[in-house]
Structure 1
Amino acid sequence: MSDHALPAPHLLVVEDDPGIRNLLLRYFSHAGYLVSTAVTLTEVRHYIENSEISIILLDLMLPQESGYEVCRYIHQTTNAPIIMVTALAEIQDKIAGLNLGADDYISKPFDLAELEARVRAVLRRGDRPRKPSSLPDEYVFGPWKFVPAKRALYRASGVRLTLSGAETDLMLVFWQHQNTLLTRPDIINLIHGNPTALEERSIDLLVSRLRRKLAEGGRQLELIRTVRGDGYIFDPRVCIP
């Protein structure tokens, strides 16, 4: 192996079913990933505190804590992206998971090749090279400072709001296309390079999450305006008094 070879991505599988857990361990280990497994929040906390986790596959139906509780902890303590892998396939379950900061969602039973493709896609989003000549380190509008490299929004008071990888991608797309009507396929294409890579409904969920984080004193400014039937327009001038 070359001295300059990149380390294998460290995948943490949080799954209580031993059959699925071992299947994912074998499959992703064979695919070149460093794989760890966990069942409880205590085990998840151990890996996050002692390892550099690249991505997490999270089951929602765990024996001790709710998967949503584990997701909330992960999102508050690390920037590692989360793909929820669960038998809970109802739309409200997906909405709840995405609202907590999950980057993607796949229902059981799943195809291993599709799951691996989703893992690669999420990791690519995090590793996407930036253009130093055209992308500043931070973006300031009104009381907000957006720092893509840290996946964060900062208030003028210094309060930090952590963004998921998907929220960061969306915020960056909006900033780079200010005052421009973007349809849902436009947004999906700008993030993933393919207008059909996600369900359009997922963009509505992402926009809803981002709007809540941009709320001013509980009041949501019209920074992201919905154009009914067409898409969204991001207008940072709304913050100018």
Structure 2
Amino acid sequence: MNAALAHIIVVEDDPELGALVQGLLAKEGYQVGLAESGAAFDNHLSTGREPDLVILDVMLPGEDGLSICRRFRLQSYVPVLMLTAKSDEFDRVLGLEMGADDYLVKPFGPRELVARVRALIRRSKDMTAMQKPSNRFVFDGFVIDFDTRILTAPSGEELALTSAEFELMTCFVKRPRRVLSRDIILDFVHGRNADPFDRSVDMLVSRLRKKLETVEGAAGMITTVRNNGYIFTAKDIRAL
């Protein structure tokens, strides 16, 4: 994705900081829109053009950034970079729980901001490139076919997965190497028809792990992040 074509929305109620971030990113060739609140952010989205990245401040008037991130994540997987004035680990963890992809603690250096933005947009581009009509992907020798709903081991043997287990596998393959909270997994697997405190995700992950680990060398592919959720750590994920 060319920087000149990438569209970023910065949700920041501090006019001075918002203008600073906008200026920094504009110099890098990005198109940058500013929103001072959740309502203004919704107005940007209502134009019909989905951004390539959202930079979202945690402390906002009215609806806070964590709430905005949570509801935005239910409708889009566009990367979200959270900005926070708090260095407490709890706030960073909570942001990741809500679906943020990365965070920066204020004050931050211009070069670090630009580097984070580039990395998130590049990662998003890589994931978009995976969305080919065949809907077949390979990871660590496994092949998953989203059309036939079949997961094949490196040996060529088909792994018998339930419908929920296949949806979970799909969720992991399409969102590798990022923390997926239980809420995000519930949204994907059950369409939000489950109680937010439902622990069925843990049991579902456990079942999928056991089936994957029957294959030699597949242990540790799904990593638990304490109090946060799970990360799919398979390497070399690519479309066929």
Give the TM-score, by structure 1 length: 0.62
Letter in 1 for 2:13: D
Gaps of 5+ in 2: 138-143, 151-160, 211-218, 224-240
Partner of 1:20: 17
1:232 aligns with 2:238: no
Are the counterparts in 2 of residues 83 and 103 from structure 1 also a CA contact under 8 Å?
yes
Q: Which has the higher contact order (CA 8 A, sep 6+)?
A: 2
1:38 pairs, out of 35, 41, 44, with 35
Are the counterparts in 2 of residues 13 and 57 from structure 1 also a CA contact under 8 Å?
yes
Distance 1:52 1:207, change over 3 A: closer
1:90 and 1:124 map into 2 onto residues whose CA distance is 28
2:117 pairs, out of 112, 119, 127, with 119
Task: Provide the aligned length of Structure 1 versus Structure 2.
Answer: 179
Give the TM-score, by structure 2 length: 0.63
Partner of 2:175: 169
Are the counterparts in 2 of residues 47 and 53 from structure 1 also a CA contact under 8 Å?
no
Identity over aligned pairs, percent: 28
Backbone CA RMSD of aligned residues: 3.4
Q: Alpha-carbon deviations, 1:91-137, whole Å to 9, x = none?
A: 11111100110011111111111111111111111111339686255
Match runs of 1:109-188 below 5 Å: 109-128=107-126, 129-130=129-130, 135=137, 138=146, 140=150, 141-144=161-164, 145-146=166-167, 153=171, 168-170=174-176
Q: Alpha-carbon deviations, 1:53-103, whole Å to 9, x = none?
A: 110000000012111111122112223210001112211111110011001
Stretches (4+) displaced over 2 A: 129-134, 144-148, 167-170, 205-221, 231-235
2:95 and 2:116 map into 1 onto residues whose CA distance is 16
Letter in 2 for 1:25: Q
Gaps of 5+ in 1: 154-162, 171-190, 192-202, 226-230, 236-241
